[in-house]
Amino acid sequence: MKKWGFLLLVLVSIGITVVNRLPFFQNKIEIKHYEPDYLLDESGTSENHQMVEIAEELVYQGNLLLVNNDYPVHAESIKSDVVNLIKHSELTEGYGLLDSEIYLSEEVAYEFSEMIRAAEAEGVRYFSINSGFRDFDEQNVLYQQMGSSLALPAGHSEHNLGLSLDVGSTQMKMSEAPEGKWIEKNAWKYGFILRYPKDKTHITGIQYEPWHIRYVGLPHSAIIQEKNLALEEYLDYLREEKNILANVNGEEYTVTYYPFSTSKTINVPENNKYEISGNNVDGVIVTEYEF
């Protein structure tokens, strides 16, 4: 009997350890300004970083592009991995599609499916994708039908990127559905943001849309959530701070903004992983991480 009691204690201890290692269990986010501690020599390199030249096209590529009435989608902004989801059953488990013509970036679809699995584990499971990527012609038809109060003109909608999608509940309106509440509370953990929040209409110029989510990736979604920012505000924040250190549940990121108008070169790590994204306005953002 004592042996069984000891075994149970061991199993419980292991279970607690595993749970505490689950991503986002603690939802701990720390953000601060930092000054880079690497120094480049005359050749533009350092022990851990090197300087590389960038082309202007990079300003218009990536997951952090700002698209609205003032900043349109460029040809190079459209994600190159857009796929028809009905043909990729591995990306659509656990949720429905409004019709057979829902397109989305394959990368974004993968992250969305990961999020849906997490929601299902919490008992929230009636999701659908009602709209994803739209080409300019489709966006123009929608704009003509719905008008400027409910749609954006072709080339000025995030749907023209492949990074945004309209998520629905098969049971009720998203503003009332458990699916909508779960998305608003948890989407940031998987790199998504609620692009048009209720309290940011004066910033975005768009009415509250509890169904419209946008992929920006971590740690950006975590910082936006923690500081309660719209994407417009977040990009302004990066311009002001220039160097951000973000710790999201023990995983550390550095985020650096480079204005293209004054700098045609950026510092990138030689050993760590990193991503580069333009902001579609005036510069690029380098996100560095070690894991």
Do residue 194 and residue 135 come from a single domain? yes
Q: Note whether residue 112 is domain-resident.
A: yes
Name the domain boundary from 175, 191, 215.
215
Examine the residue annotation and report whether 252 is marked as an active-site residue of this protein. Answer: no
Q: How would residue 171 be classed by pLDDT, with cut points 50, 70 and 90? A: very high
- Compute the distance between CA of residue 152 and CA of residue 129 in angstroms, rounded to an integer: 19
Contact 62, 277 (CB under 8 A): yes
Percentage of the chain modeled with pLDDT above 70: 88
Number of domains comprising the chain: 2
* Burial of 77 (C-beta count, 10 Å sphere; 0-12/13-18/19+): buried
Name the catalytic one among 107, 158, 209, 288: 209
CATH number of the domain that residue 102 is part of? 3.30.1380.10
Q: For residue 106, what pLDDT is reported?
A: 98
Q: Does residue 211 sit in the same domain as residue 224?
A: no
Question: How far is 164 from 175, CA to CA, in rounded Å?
Answer: 18
Contact 136, 150 (CB under 8 A): no
Residue 150 has pLDDT above 70, yes or no: yes
Q: In terms of domains, do 269 and 173 share one? A: no
Q: In this predicted structure, what is the pLDDT of residue 48? A: 84
Range of the domain at 240: 26-64+218-291
Contact (CB, 8 A) for 184 and 210: yes
